[in-house]
Amino acid sequence: MNDIGLVVGADILVEGGVIKEIGTVAERPDCDVFDVSGKIIVPGFVDSHTHLIFAGTREREFAMRAKGKTYGEIAAAGGGIIDTVRKTREMPRSKLRSQAQRRLDKMLKWGTTAVEIKSGYGLDFATEMRILETANELKEQAITDIVVTFLGAHALPPEHANNRENYIRIVIEELIPQIARKNLADFCDVFCDEGFFTTAETEKILKSARDNGLRLKMHADELASNGGVELAAALNVVSVDHLENISAGEIELLAKSETVGVVLPSVAPYIRGKVAPARQMIDSGCALAIASDFNPGTSMVDNMQTVMWLAVSLNQMTVEEALNAATINAAAAVGLSDRLGSIEVGKQADMIILNAEDYSYLPYHFTENIIANVVKNGTVLEFS
Ligand code: NIG
Ligand code: FE
């Protein structure tokens, strides 16, 4: 995690959106040359965990937590995720779409060239499908690479508050098969945590998703340590995300597994919760990614430069670990490390060119966008 594979003074030959050569490339008359001498180039950021499609904001809850209310208390009183669900159910498809596109454009300017998008603010058949269809339209049409995740088990919707079995049945018997048949999601995720879904419920939902051909992710140990990581390792999920309350035993399990741990550094300050022990996890041999968790409740952060700064200053990662965690390991967290996440021959030419003399400037000067150019599929983008 600490080796970024630094190369000094190399040319990069890109053809058809793919990196073909790195090193000394002889000048060719049929090539456009883009001079980056004296600049730093890093891979485009992969934001491997976002709840990008949502309506409204929740600043009042942020203010309530500043006065001592907890995230769990606010959720139990009908706020939290359910507040965003009410607003999202009312938002027409066209607005969901235009708002999401604007969010992606902003992220791209800050260097994020691939984004995972979760559903989970619909929690009924029609709205979950609308969110997933919107995410898939973006996957087809946006410049950004998109990975789509179904998170129907994000919270118990109010109309099923007294009958959780029935909602879980709808997720398993109605939503998952339909989503798989229409190819609307790459992954299925569950919010496995205290006050949300138990490990037994999570196991049932994820096994049915797997049987339907979806790959697996989990939210675990955000609010409490409840055995989520043990289940994640047993199911061999692609990534297990949050981990603020991971136990020593679970760190050992994660280190031995093939699963990527995704740390979301901005969540702890938003919910006044614990900071994920990234240092211990890395020192124990876990592979970690970092992501924004962009959502209106626990992270109004859409910018991987800020996420890197938090990872270094709060989670005690090194700058090199944070850079790997935001790029190659993040690509692994969405199952795309064969194509994204590093500047290597054969990979997609998604790169960011920095106005800085040293890559450490990235997390060091996090309130300023130090990106000179974003290169996506080999094209140097122009921003209006
Ligand atoms: O990752 N933990 C579950 N989902 C989000 C929070 C969603 C919300 O509060 O709206 C998260 O932190
Ligand atoms: Fe999340």
| Best of 51, 119, 245 for a ligand 1 pocket test (most atoms within 8 Å of beta carbon) | 51
Measured CA to CA, the distance from residue 227 to residue 232 in angstroms comes to: 9
Residue 84 in contact with ligand 1 by CB distance below 6 A: yes
The total number of structural domains that make up the chain: 2
Residues 210 and 352 in one domain: no
Residues 210 and 295 in one domain: yes
Phi, psi of 194 (to 5 degrees): -60, 125
**Residue 198 included in any domain:** yes
Task: Pick the atom of ligand 1 nearest to 293's CA.
Answer: 1
Whether residue 281 is found in the same domain as residue 351: no
User: How would you write the chain as a 3-class SS string?
Assistant: CCCCCCCCCCEEEEECCEEEEEECCCCCCCCCCCCCCCCEEEECEEECCCCCCCCCCCHHHHHHHHCCCCHHHHHHCCCCHHHHHHHHHHCCHHHHHHHHHHHHHHHHHCCEEEEEEECCCCCCHHHHHHHHHHHHHHHHHCCCEEEEEEEEECCCCHHHCCCHHHHHHHHHHHHHHHHHHCCCCCEEEEEECCCCECHHHHHHHHHHHHHCCCEEEEEECCCCCCCHHHHHHHHCCCEEEECCCCCHHHHHHHHHCCCEEEECCCHHHHHCCCCCCHHHHHHCCCCEEECCCCECCCECCCCHHHHHHHHHHCCCCCHHHHHHHHCHHHHHHCCCCCCCCCCCCCCECCEEEECCCCCCHHHHCCCCCCEEEEEECCEECCCC
| 321: its two tokens | 């670990």
pLDDT at position 206: 98
Is 3 among the domain residues? no
Residue 287 falls within a domain, yes or no?
Answer: yes
Ligand 2 centroid to residue 50 C-alpha, Å: 6
What's the CATH code of the domain at 217?
3.20.20.140
**Which residue among 154, 270, 272, 292 has the greatest number of ligand 1 atoms within 8 angstroms of its CB, and so is best to mutate?**
154
pLDDT given at position 334: 98
Q: Is 90 exposed, middle or buried (0-12, 13-18, 19+ CB in 10 A)?
A: exposed
Q: 329: domain range?
A: 43-333
Say what angle helices 199-211 and 228-235 make with each other, to 10 degrees: 20
- The answer, yes or no, to whether any atom of ligand 1 lies below 6 A from the CB of 81, is yes
In three-state form (DSSP H/G/I as H, E/B as E, the rest C), the secondary structure along 76-119 is: HCCCCHHHHHHHHHHCCHHHHHHHHHHHHHHHHHCCEEEEEEEC
Whether 305 and 350 share a structural domain: no
Q: Which of 119, 218, 293, 294 to mutate to test the pocket of ligand 1 (most atoms within 8 A of CB)?
A: 293
Tell me, yes or no, whether 25 and 54 share the same domain: no
Encode the chain (384 residues) as per-residue pLDDT tens digits: 999 999 999 999 999 999 999 999 988 889 999 999 999 999 999 999 999 999 999 999 999 999 999 999 999 998 999 999 999 999 999 999 999 999 999 999 999 999 999 999 999 999 999 999 999 999 999 999 999 999 999 999 999 999 999 999 999 999 999 999 999 999 999 999 999 999 999 999 999 999 999 999 999 999 999 899 999 999 999 999 999 999 999 999 999 999 999 999 999 999 999 999 999 999 999 999 999 999 999 999 999 999 999 999 999 999 999 999 999 999 999 999 999 999 999 999 999 999 999 999 999 998 999 999 999 999 999 987
What atom in ligand 1 is closest to the CA of residue 71?
9
Say if ligand 1 is within 6 A of residue 121 CB: no
Q: Are residues 125 and 27 in the same domain?
A: no
- Looking at the structure, do residues 361 and 265 belong to the same domain, yes or no? no
Residues 206 and 272 in one domain: yes
The protein residue with its alpha carbon nearest to ligand 1, atom 9, reads 297
| Ligand 1 atom nearest to 296, measured from its CA | 10
Q: Is 292 in the pocket of ligand 1 (CB under 6 A)?
A: no
